Chains A and B, each alone.
Chain A
Amino acid sequence: MTTKTDAVAPEEDFHRLERTWRDPSGVAGWFLHVDHKSIGRRYLVTAFSFFLLAGVLAALMRLQLSRPDNSFLSPDLYNQIFTTHGTTMMFLFAVPVMQGLGIYFLPLMVGARAIAFPRLVAFSYWMFLFGGIFLYASFFLNAGPDVGWFSYPPLAESLYTPSKRADVWAQLITFTEVASLAVAVSLITTAFKLRAPGMTLNRVPIFVWAQVVTSFMVLFAMPSVMLASTALILDRLVGTHFFDVEHRGDALLYQHLFWFFGHPEVYIIFIPGTGLVSTILSTFSRRPLFGYLAIALSLVSTAFMGFGLWVHHMFATGIPQLGRSFFTAASIVIAVPTGIQFFCWIATMWSGRIVLKTPMLWILGFFGIFLLGGLTGVILAAVPVNIQVHDTFFVVAHFHYVLIGGAVFPLFGAISYWFPKITGRLLSERTGRIVFGLMFVGFNTTFFPMHILGLHGMPRRIYTYPAAMGWGSLNLLASAGAVLMTLAVILFLADVVRALRSAERAPDNPWDASTLEWATSSPPPNSNFLRPPTVAGRDPLWENPPDQPFVVGLRSGIRDVLVTHVLDAEPDHRDEFPTPSIWPFVTALATTALFIGSIFTPWAVVWFSVPLFLAMVGWFWPKSPDEGGTQPWPSRRTLPGPNEAPAAGGAI
């Protein structure tokens, strides 16, 4: 031990610790942040802003479709709007917002001082932000992508889309992939190597499991779409003919690559949602989650199976029947692990004592909506039904039930659940109930009629429809529902603003929850835990004995983090974590210039690799510890280990 905790007076030591872990303030300092709480907050706020933008686009579409033969939007604008809506919701909202929750809460939930690779996480945020700005700048310059969020060639090839619109889409994908891959690596490492002593693999909170499983899916799924979108750019930029039928390219190849990513993507969005459900459900049922092992294994098996059913997006392309039967079977079987999770949740509620606070309401809303979405999913797995309702509003209804039900409802639950932890303020319980009610009614009014519209033959992605089809009244109803959802979001934002301005402080653990993020103050200090915890069970705050020891031996003047073993979380060594740095920002700027430049000329890749190289040299420039740098790897020095509880205190 280089520094003994009890050698210095605790108060003084805590102050020093907080100074060590503080990110610089001020406008200039803002670009230097590496604290996972700061980056996580930015991720959440940015992703939610994109959610609002894409929501506005959705409202415009509902306005256009509210009556037949409407000329409110031109077909060109409508196509840009639905493409940008889908692309935003998938790549700039659903994935990043879940990763943002992971970035903020994973280190807290496993009792760590920081996230693994903090500068990489900062870099990922800048890439995500720049990608999003790039998409919306293009959209407002009338260069928004207009070939659908899937961007199928040949439509997306330069022959049929000569403008830069398809390139904008393809490069946005590259931005968000770089960002999400970086986050996935950090989250996996955090969950595997930075856990509090005692948090063996079978005591890891389910939300952490969900994030780890999701991150692994990101690692395997994203490269596939990266390959597809890059090959598309190459086709357009330098004429490689990957998908160009005229030159023996193959249009179907793209679809396989895209959906090998595209289907797991659904689970990348939905699995963190189930993690949120398990977390909130357990807290508000006042008991440990029933069937922890079954749920964890369900998540893992969903992830594996999720890669085996992409062809059900392509049943109409003429895949031979034997092949289709296999993918039908896979699509049906994947309902089993989700079913098991449902049964475990019901069992948890059955034997618990439910407290009906706002977060729990959102979870109940999730049950109703996701159940319907999941069951229409089983229906869609059947080829005879699928080839009828594929690419109709039935599918639009289905995946909004799955994604809004499976991800957005739990997300709103999570926001009301964790808002006090992040901000130190409580959202209004009364307003929360109204928001939930408006959203639930509005959502069902908007999307339930779409099932019927689809069964009546209304295809997707049409900017208008003739009055004679008789689709007008149900479309009007759907548009009316959208008004309710808009009201709900406005009311929610108003309550957030009110809460942030109110003087009333939230307690550290307002819900009496069991996981470690509630063991620290609200909002958490710079170092997350003034005394890093150890755990004695799956629900540490409910199970830990009063004299549960802390981790000692981490220096307060240096960014020391305890690294533990993967399986049993035994202390391994302590690692010095990087300090704030401008280089992630600079590197992201250089990468952005390269990505955007390469839309216009292949030479951009050559020229902009120079500033990119220089930025990375700056990033990796070695510094001695005297200069405030980190130790060169490996930095194994001492094994601190969980000591006996210091005299200063026992309970966490």
Chain B
Amino acid sequence: MFWTTTIVCVVVLAFIAAALVKSGRLASTAPVPTSAERTLTRSVWAATTLTVLILLMLLFASIWIGRGVESVEAATAITINIVGHQWWWEIEYEDAVASQRVLTANELHIPINRPIVLKVSSRDVIHSFWVPNLQGKRDLIPGYITAIWLQADRPGVFRGQCAEFCGLQHAHMALDVVAEPGADFDRWLQGMRTPAPAPETEEQRRGHAVFMSRRCAGCHAINGTEAYGQVGPDLSHIASRSTIGAGTLPNTRDHMDAWVKNPQASKPGNQMPPNPLSDEESRALLAYLELLK
């Protein structure tokens, strides 16, 4: 397709250039003879016919490839629900047993060489799920659930980003797709199903208390605790994720500290309010969060 259009472009420009050169040489003011007009008419007809043929070819190629890209062997597929929020991704691994479902956010783990069916929707405005190296876009439209599929053929981390303008922080709504061998993926999934570990050290216990007594638990959930807020991303395994704020900051201790205290600094307008914590409180909270692998 690229080469076809490039060739068409070059040929047409060449004819325009040739016309310029040719007409530059024509010095006479005599009217164009009728025979020349007839040749021109024939040329225009020929060019039009050629155009139609090329376009038909492109049309069939497009439909052919479209079918290939969209059809899927569903038997071995894993189904994952993706729900868009302003401005983060909710990810849920389906399972027939309700307790075996896994809820996470902003980091999608998939096994390689297996088709993944993504059922996508949105909780608020329209977003668009797009991981360029794996599949084309699919809009997340509130009120609609649609499905696409993708498959990773090699392990790796593939970055994705929201592709439909969704408000103030559309620029900071990214996600990572981690494709790993089947065994690693199963291990990861099993780990996700286990409840978050209980705090062990004194500092972690204080951090746990900060999380539950401050506003955190009102919006975020941690599996196995009394925190079950649904407004923000699930934090049961936050320490294992590579970014904070849907790809806004790398997940390091310093960034987490700054994010918790004032998320509006790096991602202005997001739904998380600033949290005035004392140094002691924030150290404890970070110690607890780091436990949540």
Contacts and interface: CB of A to CB of B under 8 A. Distances in A.
Interface stretch (A114-122, A326-334, A612-620, A640-648): A326-334
Contacts of A74: 268
A609 to B, nearest CB: 34
Contacts of B48: 336, 339-340, 343
Given A346-B19, A351-B40, A318 B144 contact: yes
Nearest to A155: B125
Given A367-B13, A383-B66, A457-B161, A391 B128 contact: yes
A462 B43 contact: no
Nearest to B55: A332
A500 interface: no
Given A252-B141, A350-B23, A152 B63 contact: no
A525 interface: no
B98 interface: no
B75 interface: no
B157 interface: no
A382 B163 contact: no
Contacts of B156: none
Interface string B103-145: 0000000000000000000001110101010011111011110
A566 interface: no
Interface in B7-38: 8-9, 12-13, 15-16, 18-20, 22-24, 26-27, 29, 31-32, 36-37
Nearest to A340: B48
A316 B138 contact: yes
B161 A459 contact: yes
Interface residues of B, number: 74
B263 to A, nearest CB: 14
Given A294-B44, A371-B9, A388-B136, A160 B23 contact: no
A336 B44 CA distance: 12
Contacts of B148: 318
B44 to A, nearest CB: 4
A388 B15 contact: no
B47 to A, nearest CB: 5
B164 interface: yes
B58 to A, nearest CB: 6
B233 to A, nearest CB: 19
A537 interface: no
B43 A343 contact: yes
A76 B168 contact: yes
B85 to A, nearest CB: 12
A312 to B, nearest CB: 11
A367 B16 contact: yes
Interface stretch (A192-200, A284-292, A431-439): A284-292
Interface in A421-464: 457, 459-464
B230 interface: no
B171 A463 contact: yes
Interface stretch (A28-36, A373-381, A502-510): A373-381
A344 interface: yes
A335 interface: yes
A250 B138 CA distance: 18
A472 to B, nearest CB: 15
Interface string A228-261: 0000000000000000010001111000000000
B12 A75 contact: no
Contact of B51 (A335, A352, A385): A335
Given A332-B55, A346-B15, A349-B23, A318 B44 contact: no
B170 interface: yes
A391 B128 CA distance: 9
Nearest to A375: B5
A465 B171 contact: yes
A391 B137 contact: yes
Contact of A332 (B8, B27, B59, B268): B59
The listed residue with most B CB atoms (<10 A of its CB), out of A79, A287, A294, A364, is A79
A632 interface: no
Contacts of B162: 459
A317 B36 CA distance: 51
A387 interface: yes
A382 B165 contact: no
Given A148-B165, A251-B141, A328 B51 contact: no
B126 A382 contact: no
B134 to A, nearest CB: 11
Interface of A: 74-76, 79, 147-148, 152, 154-155, 160, 245, 249-252, 285, 287, 290-291, 294, 316-318, 321, 324-325, 328-329, 332-333, 335-336, 339-340, 342-344, 346-347, 349-354, 364, 367-368, 371-372, 375-376, 378-379, 381-388, 390-392, 457, 459-466
Given A347-B43, A387-B135, A459-B162, 13 more contacts: A75-B269, A152-B126, A316-B164, A318-B148, A325-B63, A336-B48, A343-B43, A352-B26, A352-B32, A353-B27, A381-B62, A384-B69, A465-B171
8 contacts: A147-B167, A152-B126, A160-B125, A290-B40, A316-B164, A318-B146, A350-B40, A381-B62
